[in-house]
Amino acid sequence: MVAACAVVRNPYAGRYEPDLLPFMAQLRSLGTLLAEELVATLGRDNVETYSKAAIVGVDGELEHGAVWHEAGGWAMRAVLGEPKAIGPAAKAVAGAGYRLTVPLHYIHACYVRSHYNSMEIGIQDAPRPKEIVYALVMGTGGRVHERLGGLRKENIVGQGGQR
């Protein structure tokens, strides 16, 4: 499993902004950059798990992290060739050095139990109060020695990302 993280200035820290869509649109290129970095590291055909995360500095709000669902999530899908499973996510408002546990699952069907996993992300001196840490996480397989049954990746029958 690998993570790519970026620290950005939060343009809305300390104030309420009713329209976050322009910020979400600005973050799309960052999502693509991080997704491409992960795929270059792992190899596109090797990626089997993914996720996204945001840690918002204490002058921001959780919704400033939620913009990453679209910006980071769709970027991963585009770079990986449009896998169907929803990209899991985690987000928090916290101080510098906070560590966030990020859930991962299989990219083509979210009920493949062998690929349920998590990875901790964080940056020692971020996010500061007016910053946000955005992260994408990818991995090359399921858990080592998994043996708890459930749907196997070779038994996926649907095309909607569920089963």
Residues in the chain: 163
Q: What is the pLDDT along the chain (163 residues), one digit of tens a residue?
A: 999 999 999 999 999 999 999 999 999 999 999 999 999 999 999 999 999 999 999 999 999 999 999 999 999 999 999 999 999 999 999 999 999 999 999 999 999 999 999 999 999 999 999 999 999 999 999 999 999 999 999 999 887 778 7
d(CA 64, CA 127): 13
* Beta-bridge partner residues of 120: 101
The β-bridge relationship of strands 49-56 and 89-93 is: parallel
For residue 133, the cross-strand partners are: 7, 55
Distance CA 21, CA 11 (A): 13
- CB contact at 8 A, 52 and 35: no
Would you identify the CATH topology of the domain 2-9+24-140?
A: 60s Ribosomal Protein L30; Chain: A; (3.30.1330)
Q: What SS3 state is found at 162?
A: coil
Of 57, 62, 128, 125, nearest in space to 89 by CA: 62
